[in-house]
């Protein structure tokens, strides 16, 4: 039976478009291919286009051509279907895209022959006050100020118990994968990606207690907007909901995981050293 490969592109990197053409040439007649509509149109292959809402269904793998942002988009499209993602780094050094562009075809052959292993990454999911799912994130869910220059009051409850109200630019609920993203820039800890935890990181908090917290993966974190200013909920950088004063969201570990195809040759600590320019002594 022919396998089907989904392709997701970085929209602003010409090298990602060239990689997509190479990948489709590799697919030939042995592997079926599909792309989200906008991606297919960008490389002039409208016959491969499918709506994003249906993209992840019945895929055998997803090829992400870009950087970490493209990997996050890929996860948003396919994680709920259990589709594994193979990341080709077509930009700056990333934490998530493992494959060098020169080795893409080799990696695809290894996927086809079953030589790559699966790596599962924890996700966070967010619910509104009615208990309806707003969405999931691989890196982080953020409740952020709606107005530039204006802090927002966010009351935090942990496992249904009131904890503290932050006056801050925002609050981040991050996964271990997201510990090297926005949470890190806000002062949060770096956590190995196979660890299971939720990180609660305030952004520019105007409170005496302004430290990040490492929480159990079973913890539920409720964020309620106090005062008179609204806030915005974002998932992996995508704004998804405006919260008015009195409204809340609840964040918890998702039952859905993102799955990566990896060769086992890349070391997380070595990537950290490269990212931060840490030299051996």
Residues with catalytic roles: 68
Closest CA to 88 of 172, 22, 159: 22
- Give the whole-angstrom CA distance, residue 271 versus residue 37: 33
* Burial classification of residue 211, based on how many CB atoms lie within 10 Å of its CB (0-12 exposed, 13-18 middle, 19 or more buried): exposed
CA distances from 240 to 27, 74, 135, 183 (A): 35, 17, 8, 19
Q: Under a CB-based contact definition with an 8 Å cutoff, are residues 8 and 63 in contact?
A: yes
What angle do helix axes 104-112 and 14-27 make, rounded to 10 degrees? 40
DSSP tag of 74: H
Task: Spell out the residues 6+ positions from residue 37 whose beta carbon is closer than 8 angstroms to its own.
Answer: 49, 50, 51, 52
The whole-angstrom separation of Cα 154 and Cα 165 is 5
215 phi and psi angles, rounded to 5 deg: -115, 160
DSSP 37-61: HHHHHHTT-GGGEE-HHHHTTT-SE
């Amino acid at each position: 039976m022919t396998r089907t490969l989904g392709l997701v592109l970085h929209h602003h990197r010409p090298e990602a478009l060239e990689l997509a053409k190479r990948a489709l040439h590799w697919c030939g007649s042995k592997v079926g291919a599909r792309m989200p509509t906008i991606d297919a149109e960008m490389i002039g292959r409208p016959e491969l286009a499918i709506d994003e809402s249906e993209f992840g269904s019945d895929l055998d793998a997803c090829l992400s051509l870009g950087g970490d942002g493209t990997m996050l988009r890929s996860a948003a499209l396919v994680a709920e279907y259990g589709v594994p993602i193979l990341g080709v780094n077509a930009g700056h050094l990333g934490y998530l895209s493992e494959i060098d562009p020169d080795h893409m075809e080799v990696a695809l052959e290894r996927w086809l022959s079953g030589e790559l292993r699966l790596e599962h990454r924890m996700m966070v999911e967010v619910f509104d006050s009615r208990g309806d799912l707003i969405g999931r994130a691989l890196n982080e869910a953020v409740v952020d100020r709606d107005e530039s220059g204006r802090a927002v009051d966010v009351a935090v409850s942990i496992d249904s118990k009131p904890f503290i109200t932050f006056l801050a630019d925002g609050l981040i609920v991050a996964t271990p994968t997201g510990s090297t993203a926005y949470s890190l820039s806000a002062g949060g800890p770096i956590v190995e990606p196979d660890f299971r935890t939720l990180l609660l990181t305030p952004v520019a908090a105007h409170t005496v207690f302004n430290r990040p917290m490492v929480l159990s993966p079973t913890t539920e974190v409720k964020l309620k907007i106090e005062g008179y200013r609204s806030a915005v909920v974002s998932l992996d950088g995508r704004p998804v909901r405006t919260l008015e004063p009195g409204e809340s969201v609840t964040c918890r570990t998702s039952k859905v995981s993102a799955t990566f195809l990896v060769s086992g040759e890349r070391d997380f600590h070595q990537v950290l050293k490269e990212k931060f320019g840490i030299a051996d002594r």
